[in-house]
Amino acid sequence: MKLKDKVAIVTGAASGFGRGIAELYVREGARVCVADINGQGARDVAQSLGDAAIHTAADVAKADDVAAMVAETVDAFGGVDIMVNNAGYTHKNGPMLDVTEAEFDRIYDVNVKSLFFAAKVVVPEMEKRGGGVIITTASTAGVRPRPGLVWYNGSKGAAITITKSMAVELAPKKIRVCAINPVAGETGMLADFMGEDTPERRAQFTGTIPLGRFSQPSDIANAALFLADPASEFLTGICIEVDGGRCV
């Protein structure tokens, strides 16, 4: 098992990419904190994973929630080796000027400010373990942005730059920092990404992906396992496009 005896926190883990990551991590020997703003959903996932998982209701845009999430994990499992910043938020695909200030703030709080909150509390815990891995779910939107998701694109561009900056600064502490850039995937946010969920709209989106399909939770989970695996100890600052060729 590639993650035997490792302890991980996965945010946004009640569904979608986060759930896929949490499930794969447990299968590979990790103990996992399943964190989500949907507390009942997090509970359901954790219960399905057995004694290797705990759950917590956490809004990653709130510093106190993030601190409590990390503290609960340390209390339950003794530390933190892997932090997966997966929780995300978007506005509906449409004209940039139609996005409200409240929507803009929520996007940046969840997609960007949460990285600051998590780092403040998880880095000291990783130092106690002699190192660790921080993985952020960014997006191809931060690499090849397109109209309709302007403010979301910007937030993911920030996440990518933060990932690279943190990687350099935290390297002396043996903390690796990487990102995964999924193409649009089969998650709860897909309809917002497309603007509307119709066969025609789906065909339009998949037509831009050379491998011809949306990403699946298993695709992202496999990348998250690869980056967390101790065998990847010389990889840091990389942002992997899991996109079926979308960014080529």
Catalytic residues: 152
The span from the CA of 221 to the CA of 10, in Å, is 11
Radius of gyration of the chain (CA): 17
Instruction: Assess contact for 130 and 174: CB atoms under 8 A.
Output: yes
Structure tokens at 48: 């399905």
| Helix%, strand%, coil% for the chain, nearest 5 | 50, 15, 35
Of 197, 204, 211, 203, nearest to 246 by C-alpha is: 211
Residue with tokens 């910043």: 85
